[in-house]
């Protein structure tokens, strides 16, 4: 899961065109509700049978670090397929909120084809980086958090002054607005701290978040250069939410 706060970004009154972002959200939702994790498809059974189906599903489509570097063509594809698999409703909705909030403006700035390749490439490398650092792990890793973290990194470079409304738990969920250059580095710092303290085993792959975030920021920096940065978002409009 990407984080523990709910963001929104002020946008121009003209709705940005972001068909790839909307297609990714739709695809992830369809795959989730038809798969075993949602618990809605009777074909997977219930009780122990459902739990077994979920484990098999995550193992097949998710990244298993211990298997990834053994030369299997199927395993080599899993950092791509895992981007479209989520483990729970909270996991799905948390990731897709962040993708919607930060992906729309990033896609419009990059363009459809470039954004698609950027999302898939950074997501693949983020999960690959996590697997390399945990090469003995048998735990399946699923989720789009690495790719979405890359979108956050690119957004930070492209729109550092965009106002992000955040609901922070330790501030009693008060809606506070800060520029992206404050919010997103703060988010990255939390991932860094959590990565250093997280126990070994199932849970949130914070390292994948950090790898994705760094890749996204560096890509935007190299690709677009300092002269193309947008220091602030346009006129505000009505506002509109992990664990790989």
Q: Which of 140, 145, 149, 166 is catalytic?
A: 145
Spatial contact of 61 and 223, defined as CB atoms under 8 Å apart: no
Q: Is 46 a catalytic residue?
A: no
SS (H, E, C) 69-93: CCCCHHHHHHHHHHHHCCCCHHHHH
**Which residues, at least 6 apart from 184, have a Cβ–Cβ distance to it below 8 Å?**
152, 153, 155, 156, 164, 213
Q: Which of 91, 137, 140, 209 is catalytic?
A: 209
Helix axes 145-158, 180-197, angle to 10 degrees: 150
- Burial bucket for residue 159 (CB in 10 Å: 0-12, 13-18, 19+): buried
Q: Is 59 a catalytic residue?
A: no
Q: Which residues are catalytic?
A: 145, 209
């Amino acid at each position: 899961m990407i984080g523990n706060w709910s963001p929104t970004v002020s946008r121009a009154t003209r709705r940005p065109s972001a068909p790839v972002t909307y297609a990714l959200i739709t695809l992830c939702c369809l795959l989730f509700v038809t798969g075993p994790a949602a618990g809605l498809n009777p074909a997977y059974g219930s009780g122990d049978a459902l739990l077994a189906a979920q484990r098999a599903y995550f193992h097949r489509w998710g990244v298993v670090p211990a298997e990834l570097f053994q030369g299997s063509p199927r395993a080599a594809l899993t950092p791509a397929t895992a981007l479209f698999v989520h483990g729970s409703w909270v996991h799905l909705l948390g990731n897709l909120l962040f993708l919607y909030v930060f992906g729309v403006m990033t896609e419009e700035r990059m363009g459809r084809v470039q954004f698609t390749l950027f999302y898939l490439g950074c997501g693949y490398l983020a999960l690959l980086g996590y697997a390399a650092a945990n090469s003995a792990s048998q735990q399946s890793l699923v989720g789009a958090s690495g790719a979405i973290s890359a979108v956050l990194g690119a957004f930070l470079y492209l729109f550092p002054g965009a106002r992000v409304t955040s609901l922070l738990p330790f501030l009693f969920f008060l809606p506070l607005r800060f520029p992206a250059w404050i919010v997103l580095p703060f988010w990255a710092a939390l991932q860094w701290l959590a990565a250093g303290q997280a126990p070994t085993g199932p849970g949130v792959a914070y390292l994948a978040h950090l790898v994705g975030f760094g890749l996204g920021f560096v890509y935007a920096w190299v690709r677009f250069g300092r002269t193309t940065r947008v220091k602030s978002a346009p006129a505000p409009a009505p506002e509109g939410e992990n664990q790989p």
